[in-house]
């Protein structure tokens, strides 16, 4: 996701923020529809409502985020965006211990952001926060879509919805620039790195993880953005940034271990009840 974001930033001078989003969603939709070949019949009205909501959340999340990175650096943008999943982890969790992991991750996120965002473009920061809210909605509807549709069929349909919604915006901003071979090639790279692969893996993960645990795991995004900046842009990590990465990793590990421990305890309880009966 973060390497795709870095590639998208380099593509914006050629196609604009909305043009990059359009290329990303359109190429991803074509690839997923070709691979999944989802059935269009046999789905209820509630199924289609979930897919449409998923597609709207996905498109809005991408559009707002790319408007943010067009105005502020990638690292702070991801740092602000991840506050959405962190808020979801607090709201969706029913266990007090998950509040600890969310708080630990939140401390790491703010530390990675330098402890403050006063120097950032306020409009860019607002777009990043909006993208975070849509990211939380994306997590919720991705999980619901994964339960209603087999394999990645729901994701393919939702991606098509998002692509159709953004196509007029991309054409209005970039026009024929979107058909330039180099721009198309780079856009296809962004689509594969930032949409096709991560969204498919996330949908599969949400079939196995509760939304609260998944949301805390998303706090790794700023850490991975810092790693991508180090590898691609040769940006050295400060001691504070290294500590921030350690905090979000610890929070993610704690959230997963808590969920695994809860699952084992539930399994033992069920086994004990079976023996008793």
What is the C-alpha separation between 111 and 123, in angstroms, rounded? 22
Q: Strand, coil or helix: what is 151?
A: coil
Query: Which of 61-75, 130-144, 253-267 is least confident?
Result: 253-267
pLDDT class for 269, splitting at 50, 70, 90?
very low
Whether the CB-CB separation of 194 and 31 falls below 8 Å is answered with no
Place of tokens 């991975």: 224
pLDDT of residue 268: 37
**pLDDT tens column, 142-194:** 889 988 888 889 989 999 999 999 999 989 888 888 888 998 898 899 899 88
**pLDDT tens column, 81-130:** 887 877 777 776 667 777 787 788 778 777 766 665 566 788 888 999 99
Whether the CB-CB separation of 140 and 90 falls below 8 Å is answered with no
pLDDT class for 271, splitting at 50, 70, 90?
very low
CA 118 to chain centre: 25
Tokens encoding 207: 């079939």
Place of tokens 């809210």: 133
Across 259-275, average pLDDT: 48
How many structural domains comprise the chain? 1
pLDDT of residue 176: 86
pTM: 0.75
Question: Nearest CA to 172 among 11, 21, 6, 64?
Answer: 21
Q: Domain of residue 84: give its range.
A: 2-276
């Amino acid at each position: 996701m973060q390497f795709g974001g870095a590639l998208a930033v380099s593509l914006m001078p050629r196609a604009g923020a909305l043009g990059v989003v359009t290329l990303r969603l359109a190429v991803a939709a074509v690839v997923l529809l070709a691979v999944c070949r989802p059935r269009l019949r046999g789905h209820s009205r509630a199924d289609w409502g979930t897919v449409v909501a998923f597609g709207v959340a996905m498109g809005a999340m991408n559009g707002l985020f790319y408007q943010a990175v067009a105005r502020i650096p990638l690292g702070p943008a991801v740092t602000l965006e991840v506050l959405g999943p962190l808020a979801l982890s607090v709201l969706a969790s029913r266990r007090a211990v998950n509040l600890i992991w969310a708080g630990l991750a939140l401390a790491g996120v703010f530390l990675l952001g330098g402890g403050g965002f006063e120097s950032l473009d306020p409009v860019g920061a607002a777009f990043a926060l909006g993208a975070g809210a849509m990211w939380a909605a994306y997590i919720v509807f991705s999980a619901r879509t994964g339960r209603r549709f087999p394999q990645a069929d729901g994701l393919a349909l939702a991606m098509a919805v998002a692509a159709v919604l953004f196509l007029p915006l991309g054409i209005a901003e970039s026009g024929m620039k979107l058909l330039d071979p180099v721009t198309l090639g780079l856009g296809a790279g962004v689509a594969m790195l930032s949409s096709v692969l991560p969204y498919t893996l996330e949908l599969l993960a949400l079939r196995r993880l509760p939304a609260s645990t998944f949301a805390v795991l998303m706090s790794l995004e700023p850490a991975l953005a810092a790693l991508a900046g180090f590898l691609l842009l040769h940006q050295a990590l400060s001691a504070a940034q290294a500590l921030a990465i350690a905090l979000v990793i610890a929070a993610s590990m704690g959230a997963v271990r808590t969920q695994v421990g809860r699952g084992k305890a539930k399994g033992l309880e069920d086994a004990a009840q079976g023996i008793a009966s």
